Structures are given as structure tokens and as C-alpha cells.
Amino acid sequence: MRAKLIKPTYPYVSWGTAFFDMDNDGWLDLFIANGHVYPQVDTIPGGTPYREPMLLFRNHHDGVRGREGSHVKQCSAELGNIVQGVFTPVLAKHSKSFSLIDCISVGVDRMQRNFEPMRKQVEMWQRSELTDVTVKVVIYEAFVEGRLEAPKHLARTVHDLYFEPEYEEFRPRTIWSLSNAFTSAFKKLDPIPQFKATAKLGEFLEARFSQSF
């Protein structure tokens, strides 16, 4: 909170973070790799894009990092142009062989290896049809029984987003559409409550429908 990182990082889906001394000033800077999970988000007007920019936060050792000015450097999505024009580290003896490009490439490769199980889960949810009664029971369990850490008044929002979706992609009565209804409703919350609710959603749905798979 003190470093003011919530606002500039909130719009993105972040997968990897690393602290390293970018400019060899003795203070650790922060690098964050971003990228959405689902390529389908590019079909939603005004939504978060599938390809998201990487972020680099330079440590000015004053306890605060703002979004404007030199405090925050937003990197190019292309690895070859990371922090173009601002990333000019002075290579000291202990780091003269350090390659940020190589380190990021390894990190991205490791993250992509974990995408396959997630992709299969999404495809399974897109094929798993639900009855209207089942959906209403799930919403009841989530909010009235308190299975999710979310305000009860969002139950109506989830219900409306599922049964009257804004986008054609989510008209099929599936687990995938129900998951989208939940996450869309959670966007009405402040960042921290939204994060908590969204973090529990996948576990809740997986446990609820595991016997169906």
C-alpha cells in the first residue's frame, strides 16, 4: 500500500515477479511479467487484452513509487525492447555477464509450461452444460451460505450476468459462462476484496463440479 503499486498493477494478470538491481544503485527494483490467461478476451470490446505490457518499477528508496514520471517505467511487450531508452545499467564486476533478456525468457518459458492444464480446464468448462436450477443453487451456496468471501448483494448481479449476458460468447449455459458472471460481478468490488473473492472462485467451482468431470 505504501509503495502505491495497487493502481498501476490492478488492470493486469500478473504471473511472475522478480526483484533485481536494475541500475546497480544498491536498491532492488521490481519487474512484473503480465499476460491474460484466455485469448478469447480480445473478442470482448473494452476488455483487458490478451497481450499485456510488462512493468518495471524503479526503486527510488523513498518508500513510494508513483505511476507518473520516472518512478514507474512501463516496458515494451517485446523482449527485445524492454524499457527501451531507459534501461542502461552500469555493469559492475559482479553483474557484467547478467542478461535480463535471458532471465525473462527462462521465466516466460516456465510460466507457459503451466498454461496447458489451465487451458484444458477452460475448454472443459466451456463444454460442461448446466441446468438453470443447478446455477441458482450454486449462486445460493456462494453468497447465502457464504462459500465465497463476497457481499451477498452481488448474488443478483451474478444471476443477471449469467442469464442475460452482455456478450454472445457467454450465452451458452456452461461453467465457463457462470465463472465469467462471477468475475464480472466482482469487478464492482474494491481491489483487495475483488482479489480475495476471485482467488477463491476457481477452487469453489472446481470443488462444486468435480464430480461431474
Q: How many CB atoms lie within 10 A of CB 80?
A: 7
What pLDDT does residue 177 have?
93
Buried b (16+ CB within 10 A) or exposed e, 99-119: ebeeebeebbeeeeeeeeeee
> Grid coordinates representing 5?
503499486
Under 8 Å between Cβ of 148 and 204: yes
| pLDDT the model gives residue 209 | 87
The CA distance from 58 to 26, in Å, is 12
Report the predicted TM-score, pTM, of the whole model to 2 decimal places: 0.53
Q: Kindly write down the DSSP assignment for every residue of the chain, as one continuous string.
A: -TT--HHHHTTS-EEEEEEE-TTSSSS-EEEEEE--S-GGGGGSTTS--SS---EEE---SSS---SSGGGEEEPPSSGGGTTTTT------GGGTT--HHHHHHHHHHHHHHTHHHHHHHHHHHHH-B--HHHHHHHHHHHHTS--SSS-TTHHHHHHHHHHS-SSGGG-S-BHHHHHHHHHHHHTTS-HHHHHHHHHHHHHHHHHHHGGG-
Q: Which pLDDT score is estimated for 113? A: 64
Indicate the domain borders of the chain: 6-113, 118-212
**Along the 213 residues of the chain, how does pLDDT read in single tens digits?**
455 677 777 778 887 788 877 766 677 778 888 887 777 767 776 667 778 888 887 776 665 443 333 334 443 333 333 333 333 344 444 455 666 666 666 666 666 666 677 778 788 888 999 999 999 999 999 999 999 889 999 999 999 999 999 888 899 999 999 999 999 999 888 888 888 888 888 889 988 887 554
Within a 10 A sphere around the Cβ of 20, how many other Cβ atoms?
A: 14
Instruction: Give the model's pLDDT for residue 80.
Output: 35
Cα angle value 183/185/191 (rounded, 5°): 75
